[in-house]
Amino acid sequence: MSGTLVLVRHGQSEWNLKNLFTGWKNPDLTEKGVTEAEEGARALKEYGIQFDIAFTSVLLRAERTCQIILDLIDQPDLETIHDEALNERDYGDLAGLNKDDAREKWGEEQVHIWRRSYDVPPPGGESLKDTGARVWPYYMTEILPRVLSGQKVLVAAHGNSLRSLVMVLDRMGRDEITGLNLATGVPMVYRLNANSTVASKEILGDMSAAH
């Protein structure tokens, strides 16, 4: 058995709260988002894990979630790599728009397709497939080799950058991924086999905290 990979989506952001498409925009966590990150951290502490390295995006909401977790599990100075490859999906022209206003303008179904489909990009932005096309190579070259060498690795990132990873790890098809919405601040603990497949997956906490 090789190492452990923990994926966690950032806590609620100010734009999650305002119901705005966010993408590469850079809002901070709300108080609730901080609490969600702390709850995820407490779950990891109870689980008893100590990490060898952490990865996060270059967006504040994920960076703060990562640091809140590391502080709470008494690893505040752990080496942390920040990379744009782990950023949220680029929402293009939708960034900053209200999700309900968008439904009124373009219809419920079209907005759902932009938000959750595999390969339909929002105008001027990235589809989940496009997001995966930058997340997967980064995972393969930077993250996976560490896990396979036995390290315990934390990845604090975003709803869609993590959906693209979960899709591959959980061997989900393009239809199945449409129904997946990750909860905020809820750690997913993967143990991998030596051949990179998933040996086990545990979800630590409340899956209902999705925004």
Ligand X SMILES: O=C(O)[C@@H](CO)OP(=O)(O)O
142 is catalytic: no
Candidates 17-25, 100-108, 123-131, 133-141; binding stretch for ligand X (CB under 6 A): 17-25
Q: What is the dihedral of CA 197, 160, 7, 181, to 10 degrees?
A: -90
Of residues 106-135, those binding ligand X (CB under 6 A): 115
User: Which residue, 144 or 177, has its beta carbon nearer to ligand X?
Assistant: 177
Among 6, 7, 21, 55, binds ligand X (CB under 6 A): 21
String of contacts with ligand X for each residue 151-170, x by CB under 6 A: --------xx----------
Phi, psi of 200 (to 5 degrees): -160, 155
Catalytic option among 63, 88, 126, 211: 88
CB of 42 to ligand X, least distance (A): 23
CB of 5 to ligand X, least distance (A): 21
Look at residues 92, 10, 164 and name the one whose alpha carbon lies nearest to residue 102.
Answer: 92
In terms of DSSP H, where are the helices of the chain? Answer: 14-17, 31-47, 60-72, 99-106, 108-116, 128-138, 144-148, 159-169, 174-178
104 is catalytic: no
CB of 102 to ligand X, least distance (A): 10
User: Which residue, 4 or 16, has its beta carbon nearer to ligand X?
Assistant: 16
String of contacts with ligand X for each residue 39-78, x by CB under 6 A: ----------------------------------------
CB of 30 to ligand X, least distance (A): 12
CB 25 within 8 A of CB 40: no
CB 35 within 8 A of CB 106: no
Strand ordering across the sheet containing 80-82: 80-82, 53-56, 152-157, 4-9, 188-192, 198-203
| CB neighbour list of residue 161: distance below 8 Å, 6 or more residues apart | 57, 86, 87, 88, 89, 131, 135
Residue nearest to ligand X (CB): 22
Among 4, 12, 23, 155, binds ligand X (CB under 6 A): 23
DSSP string, 85-100: GGSPPP-GGGTTSBHH
Contacts with ligand X by CB under 6 A lie at 16, 21-23, 88, 91, 115, 159-160, 211
Question: Which of the residues are catalytic?
Answer: 10, 88
